[in-house]
Structure 1
Amino acid sequence: MGGAADAAVPAGTVILKSRVLVTDAEGAALLFFTRADAPANPTRWLTPGGHLEPGETHAEAAVRELFEETGLVVSEAELGDPVWAHDFVGEPAEGIRRSYHEEWYRLRTERFEPVDTNWTDDERVDVEQWRWFAPSELAATTDAVEPAGLAALVARLA
């Protein structure tokens, strides 16, 4: 769910999401270069993650989204407690603004190659590429990164 579905959510409703900061032994973060919901917004680098399904906890959504977007199978216990929470207002469709709350988890793992076997049709259109960013590369990139403070978060958690 995203874009049009988020735009259809009544104003004043907080949309819940979970994200996973996946890092390797050197602190490099796995990010996806993904088209934004509103065409006027830039394609940007972001972590695996997405919306909570009805009845899901943040941890359950993080485990599910990580599997769907990377093929990586982990347990809620492996993710542990959230390392950060992020509240923001986004634009799921041009001219429509909605409130979001994200719970962020961190997973340290060996570097791996994500698989797209479980991607949705939208992800197959929206995800342009993925890569591992060393903290210094993330801090130096001129590409759009979401959220804006992601480089500082990666450095703090490295």
Structure 2
Amino acid sequence: MTETPRRATRVLLVDGLGRVLLFHGADPAEPDRPYWFTPGGGLDEGEEPRVAAARELMEETGLAIDPAALGEPVHREVARFSFDGVRYRQEQEFFLLRVDSFEVSTAGFDEIERDIIDKHHWWTVAELAGTDEVYYPLDLIDVLRRVSRHEVL
């Protein structure tokens, strides 16, 4: 199957209690296989990754930030997945943003997000380690432990 190339940014939004924000949803083509994932999404044509991450954060959580607040990426990966019948090869960068506390607003969701995302939750590393639920990236616990020690790529 042909893969559609895509660039994306993701945000590890971590609160003052060390919890990371994840959204819960499912591929429309596989609604019975839900998973958790970080805020973020694809880059618009010519868009800088940090700018895209800040834009996605605003659209998906209501949190407005200066893109410079994101610093450098703390993780990079290539994700291969299908979504709504299309196979993607997505190069993505993860940025870390720490907030004391924050009330998530999903008012900026687009139509697809409103259709596929049904909830959000602030997860501790212990909760992630103890769950049977699927979350992405698969190495999220390792990434969170690494950034908690203030290491970057």
Is TM-score (shorter-chain normalized) higher than 0.5?
yes
Q: Which amino acid aligns with 1:126?
A: I
Aligned to 2:71: 80
SS in 2 for 1:106: strand
SS in 2 for 1:66: helix
Aligned to 1:138: 128
TM-score (norm 2): 0.88
Q: Which amino acid aligns with 1:69?
A: E
Aligned to 1:129: 119
Aligned to 1:148: 138
Q: CA offset at residue 28 of structure 1? A: 0.7
Q: Which amino acid aligns with 1:22?
A: L
Aligned to 2:17: 26
Offset from partner CA, 1:49-101 (integer Å, 9 cap, x none): 0011111111111000000000001111111111111112111244x532110
Q: Which amino acid aligns with 1:81?
A: E
Q: Which amino acid aligns with 2:49?
A: H
Cα contact 1:90–1:99 (8 A) shared by 2? yes
Residue 112 (1) aligns with residue 102 (2): yes
> Unaligned stretches of 5+ in structure 2?
149-153
> Unaligned stretches of 5+ in structure 1?
1-6
Query: What is the CA–CA distance in structure 2 between the aligned matches of 1:42 and 1:12, rounded to whole Å?
Result: 21
The structure 1 residue matched to 2:49, chosen from 53, 58, 66, is 58
SS in 2 for 1:154: helix
Aligned to 1:3: none
Q: CA offset at residue 47 of structure 1? A: 0.7
Aligned to 2:151: none
Offset from partner CA, 1:7-50 (integer Å, 9 cap, x none): 9xxx4552011000000122110111121253177211111000
Instruction: Give the stretch that moved more between structures: 54-63 or 11-20.
Output: 11-20
Q: RMSD of the TM alignment (CA)?
A: 1.8
SS in 2 for 1:69: helix
Cα contact 1:139–1:152 (8 A) shared by 2? no
TM-score (norm 1): 0.86
